[in-house]
Structure 1
Amino acid sequence: MVSTIKKGLITTTVILASTLTIHSTNAAEANTSEQGTMGYGYQKYVSKHPDAQSKEQQTKQVQPEAATNGERVLDISEWQGDLTEQQVKSLKENYDFIIIRAQYGSEKIDASLSHNSAILDKYNLDFGVYSYSMYENPDDARYEAQTLYNRAPKAKFYINDFEQNSVTSGTTDQSTNAWYDEMKSLAGNKKVLFLFI
């Protein structure tokens, strides 16, 4: 039986996927500017295991004009470096909000998180953060949610980027629900999203 929370997570994921414009490329075209962004690990996996992805998914690309609500989004991490004031001014003209990788698991903080979140906040450009999730059990998932929230309390939304199953104790659903419940208790009315690739 699918829990109500899981249904909410799935609905939120579908909404996120249908409303956010995230320009993607085929795995073969991935370059270092994409490293550290949501989906990059999956792109690497698919490039090594081409049969793991259907033909339709291999050729599908999301173009900026595909968004139905006009929102333009950029996903950044330490691989793109620290933003400058001029870059943020340009981003503000071209993007509605930014998604920043905050952490890789609970222990590795993205090297550009502090700088980039502060400069985006200074120029009033909305941003959300995500954790490339590496939790192993429900307790670890709760801790990972806590560290994500504490590292970016000014974020407008929080994303659990669950690209690889690292759960070794309990079920994936138990761990994911634990992450979600903990984040909702911390984030209040802010959006909490789940991305599963």
Structure 2
Amino acid sequence: MKTNHLLKSIFTGSLALVSVLTLSTTAFAAKTKIADVSQYQGNINWSKASKDLRMTIIRVKHGNPGDSDYRVDTKRDVNANGAYKYGTPFGQYDYAEFNSTSDAVSDARQFYALSNKHAKFYALDNEKRVGKGSEQSYVNAWYNTMRTLTKKPLVYYSYQNYVNVHKISYSKFNGSWIANYSAKPNVSTDLWQYTSSGSLSGVSGRVDLSRTVDNSTVTKWYTNTPKDTYFTSVSNGQQLRVTRNINRYQTANLTGKKGSVKYNSTVTAKSIARSTSGTYRIQLTDGSYITANKSYIQAK
């Protein structure tokens, strides 16, 4: 009896272990989908969606102020916070409607200012021709502006036909994401958006789904996140550009809020200071303190 009981215990324990391993493997295997989402997916249940997603790409805005169809995505924060809460790596994309190189510069600045600090990478959605100048020059202006704002990966997105018609070169980008629903794109791509009729747990309607072509490159978009860097010195009177909305404070510990500074504004530095924990701050000529993080401030 004791022997039978022991064997039964071992057998039962083995089944339990196999069950746990099976569940774990299944759960891991389920995280294979790559979907891009926007306000058109409505209220996403991120607890459920996260179980399907390897990563997601979230829209921030459509166009630029002044465009007739300009709009900031109403779900950009909800979706970014939901993905982050449930451990889904995410990038964010900017649906652009460039009409000049200066428009591309301001578009990039606004997109970056509205993006979430937890985004792993940023994508330019370049699929609508508006300006009469060189579309390539607009793409270059967006890329060059974004590169001054962030060290995170920059990804180029478009349709196969758009790339071919406008002869777009995106070799400077850290990767490419190309849509073509009939077959694998005939232009260089690392990520292939292959359908607009996919399904995703936690979403009641259809979603765009993509699959990797160059898995190594795509993986780097959300795993090789650069560390924050800080100004360690400034000169008295130096002009700095604010790249995201920030607050001004009474102390170098960033306590005692004194006001706010809107993105793209210019502030004047007085000196470098450090918090009690040693973090670099910038004291402005009015005596207030702001972050010295280069993700929020850049030299003019």
TM-score with structure 1 length normalisation?
Answer: 0.58
The answer to whether the aligner puts 1:90 opposite 2:48 as a matched pair is yes
Matches within 5 A, 1:1-197: 71-83=32-44, 87-107=45-65, 108-152=71-115, 153-168=117-132, 170-188=133-151, 190-197=152-159
More strand per residue: 2
> What CA distance in whole angstroms lies between the structure 2 residues aligned with 1:94 and 1:71?
6
Q: Could you tell me how far apart the structure 1 residues matched to 2:84 and 2:110 are?
A: 19
Q: For the aligned residues, what is the CA RMSD? A: 1.6
Mapped to 2, the partners of 1:71 and 1:105 lie a distance apart of 31
Higher helix share: 1
Question: How many residues were matched structurally?
Answer: 123
- In the alignment, the residues of structure 1 paired with residue 43 and residue 146 of structure 2 have an alpha-carbon distance, to the nearest angstrom, of 27
* 1:125, distance to aligned residue in structure 2 (A): 1.5
Q: 2: CA distance between counterparts of 1:124 and 1:151?
A: 21
- Matched residue type, 1:115: V
User: Is the radius of gyration larger for structure 1 or structure 2?
Assistant: 2
Partner of 1:21: none
> In the TM superposition, what is the alpha-carbon distance from 1:71 to its structure 2 partner?
5.0
Structure 1 residue ranges without an equivalent (≥5): 1-69
Shift >6 Å, 4+ stretches: none
In structure 2, give the amino acid aligned to 1:132. Y
Structure number with greater CO (CA < 8 Å, separation at least 6) is 1
The 1-side partners of 2:122 and 2:131 are apart by 20
Range with bigger deviation, 117-126 or 154-163: 117-126
- Cα distance in 2 for partners of 1:102, 1:171 equals 25
Letter in 2 for 1:73: I
- Partner in structure 1 of residue 206 of structure 2: none
CA contact (8 A) 2:91 2:119 kept: yes
Looking at structure 1, the residues matched to 82 and 51 of structure 2 have their Cα atoms a distance apart, in angstroms, of 15
**Structure-1 separation of matches of 2:143 and 2:82:** 28
Partner Cα distance (2:109, 2:43) in 1:
24
Identity of aligned residues (%): 28
Q: Which amino acid in the other structure matches residue 39 of structure 2?
A: E
